[in-house]
Structure formats: C-alpha cells, structure tokens
C-alpha cells in the first residue's frame, strides 16, 4: 500500500491542518513505517481533553485510506472503530467484527470472536487499527487486566499496529496494566489545546482562527485590534478546537441571519452566551466589553475563585481584586499576538 495520501485532507473538507495536527498525523505514519521496518507492531496512544480534536484527526487519517474490493475480498488498510459506551470486552470484539462485515458478529464465545477477528484483520490486510474512545472499555470493565490482556493478544497475534484514542489519563491506565502491552506503545502523545502562554502558541491559535474564518467566509470586527480579539477568543474557548469551532460556527450563522459577514462583538457575545456559557460556567463573557478596552483574563484558580465569589468579585474582568490584579501582570498582553496581515 502507498502509505502517503496525496494530500493530508480532502480540499473540500472543513478540517484544518494546524502544526500539532500535522505532527500527530505524521507520527501515525511513522508508527506504520516502524512496524514494517522492525517486523513488530509499533503502536501509538493518543490522549486529550474532550473536544481537543482527537476523533477528527483519527477519522481524517482513516478517510485517506478507504476500504476497497479485490478479487480476493475486501481490503481495509486502516480499520477505524469507535468504542460504544458502555461496552464489555466481548461487546467490543463483536463491534469490531460487525465493522469488518462479519454476518455473525455477535455469535460465539470471546475466544471464538477473537480468533475470527484476528483472521479477518489478516485477510483484509489491515495495516493500522484505530480504536477511538477506548476509555469506554474501562468505564465498564472494572478489571483493567482483562482489557489490556485482550488488546495485547490482538496486537501480538495480528502484528498490526494499533492507535488507541481516548480521554486524558484513561488510556495510560489501560497501558500500564500490562507490561507487555505497555512496551508495544512506545509512542504516547497528547493532543493539547492551543496555548496562550507561549508566543508560538498564540500565533498558531490566531492562524487557526483566521483559517476557520476563511472557510466560513466571515471576518472579525475590524474595529477591535486583532491581538485583542484573539486574546478574548482564546479566553472564551480555552484554546479547545471544539469550543473555537462552536463559537465561530454559531456567530457566523448569526451574522448570516443579519445578512452580514462581520463577527462583531455583540454577535460573538450572543454566540458565547448561547453555545459556550453553560459548558464553561466558570467563564465570564469576554465579548461584553467594548472593543476599546483591554480584556484581562480573570483568575482561573478554583480556590481563589471561590474565595472571590464569596466577596462578590469572581471572574469579573471589570472588578479586579488586588490579589488578582497582581497575578494578571504575568498574563501575556494582547499586543503579543499576531498583527493583522
Ligand atoms: N482540525 C480541525 N479542523 C476543524 N475543526 C475541528 C478540527 N478538529 C476538531 N474540530 C472541531 O471540533 C469538534 C470536536 O472535535 P472531536 O470530536 O475530534 O474532538 P474529540 O477530542 O474527539 O472530543 P471527545 O473526547 O469528546 O470525543 C469537531 O466536531 C469539529 O467541529
Ligand atoms: Mg472523540
């Protein structure tokens, strides 16, 4: 199989290829290459918070290697499966068989299912198995050892690399429950939200936003400095891709409803209240300030926040306590961010 797709993503796709996305994508390719080179499955674990973009990355990778038919049967170069919730090990084996096209996917004992699965993975010439939301397996199976042993057997018997994707720290739990399994997962990565504390992170965040705006055919309010707007967007979304897209999609829709293409502050403010405020209840709405003010991210430390809440000053950018004023001096300034092209 030619392992490199002609382009990272389809030109019509809304998936944005940012540096971390490309880095992780290449990392998956490298695991496949190392497997061919060493003759042993080189597996990868990908963790991240909810909405970081893990599924998008894994599904984008899989979609570049579609299954195809040959005279000797179906070939599945990259076999992507979402873990249902809740699920037992046996339920997961059945789910995988079903996704492979086994007409009797749910029949038989676990050992029989496993042996059919191993047989199909080999026959379909699978070169990578992606198991998304793997943490669902341990939410249901208290016995971690069963899950990790099942995975180890599948990997060892097929000699195919696995990419397992899940919530932060949960994936590690599975891997650490079995030393032989742990050894096979030399590559362990986390898909991080965009950073604001480092200049490169701020630039990458701003570049992602500009790309998304281009895709959505909308623009930011030009009366607010770009750096100032980015600072507010980052605070509002925590740099988590799902939150960023959620805010941008909904404010773009609001703009279109008003026959416009400018994401002005009142519009972003409405979108934040409607789409993010309940998901991120500790946040104040940064778009309520006028465009001339400099937004100061309020305190994020839960304990301090609670103490300030009792004093009636929690999370309010306008009413900054002396303590949080001192803390805010270390926050990057909005002017540190990209200037507009
Ligand atoms: N590279 C990207 N380009 C554009 N949008 C993206 C990208 N990655 C993620 N998104 C957006 O973020 C949303 C959530 O992403 P995704 O489902 O991949 O997150 P996740 O890390 O798998 O979350 P969970 O842990 O809850 O499953 C997607 O529906 C999509 O709108
Ligand atoms: Mg996901």
Domain ranges of the chain: 19-190, 199-336
* 313 close to 321: Cβ distance less than 8 angstroms: yes
- pTM given for the model: 0.86
Q: Which atom from ligand 1 is nearest to the alpha carbon of 15?
A: 3
Rounded distance from Cα 248 to ligand 1 centre (Å): 13
For residue 222, give Cα distances in angstroms to 182, 292, 301, 340. 51, 12, 33, 10
What residues pair up with 70 in beta bridges, in sequence order? Answer: 73
39: left (phi over 0), alpha (psi -120 to 50) or beta: left
Give the C-alpha separation, 303 to 106, whole Å: 50
Q: Residue 218 has which token pair?
A: 């909308």
* CA-wise closest residue to 64 among 5, 126, 13: 5
Q: Which atom from ligand 1 is nearest to the alpha carbon of 16?
A: 3
Pocket test of ligand 1: the residue of 51, 133, 208 to mutate, having most ligand atoms within 8 Å of its CB, is: 51
| pLDDT given for residue 141 in this prediction | 58
Rounded distance from Cα 124 to ligand 2 centre (Å): 25
Q: Is the Cβ atom of 241 under 6 angstroms away from ligand 1?
A: yes
3-state DSSP call for residue 166?
Answer: strand
Instruction: Determine the Cα angle at 136 with ends 55 and 187, to 5°.
Output: 55
Give the C-alpha separation, 339 to 335, whole Å: 8
| pLDDT given for residue 11 in this prediction | 43
Give the C-alpha separation, 40 to 43, whole Å: 9
Ligand that lies nearest to the alpha carbon of residue 47, given by its number in the listed order: 1
Q: Is the Cβ atom of 15 under 6 angstroms away from ligand 1?
A: yes
For residue 63, give Cα distances in angstroms to 3, 13, 130, 271, 326. 13, 11, 12, 31, 49
What is the enclosing helix (H) or strand (E) of 302?
helix 302-310
Give the C-alpha separation, 223 to 106, whole Å: 60
Q: Is the Cβ atom of 7 under 6 angstroms away from ligand 1?
A: no
| pLDDT given for residue 328 in this prediction | 41
Residue with tokens 């699965």: 117
Rounded distance from Cα 70 to ligand 2 centre (Å): 31
* CA-wise closest residue to 299 among 316, 285, 287: 316
| pLDDT given for residue 330 in this prediction | 44
| pLDDT given for residue 69 in this prediction | 95
Residues 6+ apart with CB under 8 A from 303: none
* 228 close to 295: Cβ distance less than 8 angstroms: yes
Q: Which atom from ligand 1 is nearest to the alpha carbon of 48?
A: 21
Q: What CATH number labels 19-190?
A: 3.40.50.300
* CA-wise closest residue to 147 among 126, 170, 168: 170
* 96 close to 81: Cβ distance less than 8 angstroms: yes
For residue 20, give Cα distances in angstroms to 27, 62, 195, 258. 10, 18, 11, 35
Rounded distance from Cα 166 to ligand 2 centre (Å): 7
> Within 10 A of 50 (CB to CB), how many other CB atoms are there?
11
Rounded distance from Cα 282 to ligand 2 centre (Å): 23
| pLDDT given for residue 313 in this prediction | 36
| pLDDT given for residue 48 in this prediction | 97
| pLDDT given for residue 10 in this prediction | 42
| pLDDT given for residue 293 in this prediction | 85
> Within 10 A of 49 (CB to CB), how many other CB atoms are there?
16
Q: Residue 341 has which token pair?
A: 């092209």
**What is the DSSP-derived secondary structure letter of residue 334?**
G
**What is the DSSP-derived secondary structure letter of residue 190?**
E
Q: Low-confidence residues of the chain, pLDDT below 50? A: 1-12, 301-341
Q: Atom 24 (ligand 1): residue with closest C-alpha?
A: 50
| pLDDT given for residue 311 in this prediction | 39
Rounded distance from Cα 54 to ligand 2 centre (Å): 5
């Amino acid at each position: 199989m030619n392992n490199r797709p002609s382009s990272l993503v389809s030109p019509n796709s809304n998936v944005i290829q940012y540096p971390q996305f490309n880095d992780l994508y290449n990392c998956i390719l490298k695991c496949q290459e190392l497997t061919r080179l060493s003759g042993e499955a080189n597996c990868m674990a990908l963790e991240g918070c909810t909405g970081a973009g893990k599924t998008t990355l894994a599904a984008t990778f899989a979609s570049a290697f579609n299954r195809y038919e040959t005279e000797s049967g179906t070939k599945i170069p990259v076999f992507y499966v979402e873990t249902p919730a809740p699920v037992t090990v046996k339920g997961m084996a059945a789910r995988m068989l079903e996704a492979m096209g086994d007409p009797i996917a749910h029949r038989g004992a676990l050992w029989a299912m496993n042996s059919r699965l191993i047989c199909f993975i080999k026959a379909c010439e699978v070169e990578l198995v992606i198991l998304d939301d793997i943490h669902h397996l341990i939410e249901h199976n208290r016995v971690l050892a069963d899950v990790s042993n099942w995975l180890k057997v599948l990997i060892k018997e097929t000699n195919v690399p696995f990419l397992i994707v899940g919530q932060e720290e949960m994936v590690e739990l599975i891997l650490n429950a079995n030393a032989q399994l742990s050894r096979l997962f030399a590559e362990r990565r986390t898909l991080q939200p965009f950073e604001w504390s480092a200049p490169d992170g701020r630039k990458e965040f701003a570049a992602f936003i500009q790309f998304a705006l281009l895709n959505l055919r909308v623009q930011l309010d030009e009366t607010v400095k770009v750096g100032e707007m980015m600072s507010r967007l980052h605070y509002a979304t925590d740099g988590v891709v799902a939150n960023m897209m959620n805010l941008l999609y909904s404010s773009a829709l609001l703009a279109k409803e008003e026959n416009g293409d400018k994401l002005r502050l009142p519009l972003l403010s409405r979108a934040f209240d409607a789409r993010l405020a309940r998901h991120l209840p500790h946040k104040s709405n940064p778009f309520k300030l006028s465009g001339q003010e400099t937004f100061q991210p309020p305190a994020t430390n839960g304990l301090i926040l609670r103490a300030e809440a009792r004093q009636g000053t929690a999370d309010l950018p306008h009413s900054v306590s002396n303590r949080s004023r001192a803390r805010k001096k270390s926050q990057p300034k909005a002017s540190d961010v990209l200037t507009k092209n």
